[in-house]
Amino acid sequence: MEHNTLSDNHLMLQVKEGRTSCLGLLFERHHKPLYAFFYRLTQDSDLSEDLTQTVFYRILKYKHTFMGKGAFTAWMFHMARNILADHWRKHKREGQRDDLAKIEDTAESSYGPVTDREEEVSLLQKALKKMSLEKQELLELSKFQGLKYKEIADMTNSTENNVRVKVFRAIQELKTIYAQLDEEVKHD
């Protein structure tokens, strides 16, 4: 069977059995979504790349813990989530977040006019940053990475219904914050 047609779970089970070459295909399939996950939450390209590499290092290191019962992507994003949490604990993310906001404000005033679409994306990013990290992560996993509520529930030691409610509330909060920011922009 050709490697490109194998499921992620099958490839990971191959890695677990010592066929580490299969990790390369998993990397090809999941590098971009993992990078996007980290970038949306950190807004730091180099850090996102480092964290992505760390995930694949840990996949190899902890391959024995993969049981193949759930989706590989859920297991991988659970690992990514833990790696990001470790990073934030080590680097006191709240202080960095303030610095990031200052840098962004400076950068925005340095450039010329933006299109409506760019402005919408910028407002959406600002609205997301005003939300709690838990809500940002829920939206990232469910809406941007496409994980199922069941997979997120398994990752967060929660129930599927609880995740569904939290995602719904996060979306409602995002809409409210976005509308407020949009009004502020219109009045400026």
Q: What is the pLDDT of residue 90?
A: 84
What is the average pLDDT across 57-77?
88
Q: What is the mean pLDDT of residues 104-109?
A: 40
| 49-58 tens-digit pLDDT | 999 999 999 9
Domain that holds residue 172: 114-188
Backbone phi, psi, residue 132, to 5°: -65, 155
Residues 103 and 187 in one domain: no
Same domain, residue pair 83 and 9: yes
Token look-up 């990290």 returns: 133
Mean predicted confidence (pLDDT) in 132-152 = 87
Rounded to an integer, the average pLDDT of 140-159 is 87
Q: Is 146 exposed, middle or buried (0-12, 13-18, 19+ CB in 10 A)?
A: exposed
What amino acid occupies position 98? Answer: D
Return the pLDDT at 3.
56
- Name the DSSP letter for residue 147: -
- pTM of whole model > 0.75? no
| Residue 102 binned pLDDT confidence (cut-offs 50, 70, 90) | very low
Residues 179 and 92 in one domain: no
**Considering the chain, what is the average pLDDT of its residues?**
82
Residues 21 and 97 in one domain: yes
Dist. CA 128–CA 147, nearest whole Å: 19
Whose structure tokens read 């297991």? 75
Residue 109 phi, psi (nearest 5): -75, -15
Query: Do residues 68 and 12 lie in contact, with contact meaning Cβ atoms separated by under 8 Å?
Result: yes
Residues 26 and 8 occupy one common structural domain:
yes
Distance between CA 171 and CA 128 in Å, rounded?
10
Among all chains, which residue has been given the structure tokens 């490697």?
3
CATH number of 31's domain: 1.10.1740.10
Give me the number of domains the chain comprises.
2
| pLDDT surpasses 50 at 146 | yes
The answer to whether residues 119 and 104 belong to one domain is no
- Report the share of the chain in percent with pLDDT over 70: 84
Does one domain contain both 105 and 46?
yes
Within 10 angstroms of residue 67's Cβ, the number of other Cβ atoms is 11
Indicate if 92 and 126 belong to the same structural domain. no
Identify the pLDDT of residue 6: 86
CA distance 42 to 123: 16
- List the CATH number of the domain containing 176: 1.10.10.10
- Rounded Cα distance, 20 and 60, in Å: 8
- What pLDDT does 110 receive? 36
Instruction: Identify which of 106, 13, 19, 87 has the alpha carbon closest to the alpha carbon of residue 49.
Output: 87
List, for residues 15-28, the tens digit of each pLDDT value: 989 888 899 999 99
| Closest by CA position to 64, among listed 16, 27, 9 | 16
Predicted pLDDT of residue 106 = 36
Encode pLDDT of 75-97 as tens digits. Answer: 898 899 889 888 888 886 455 44
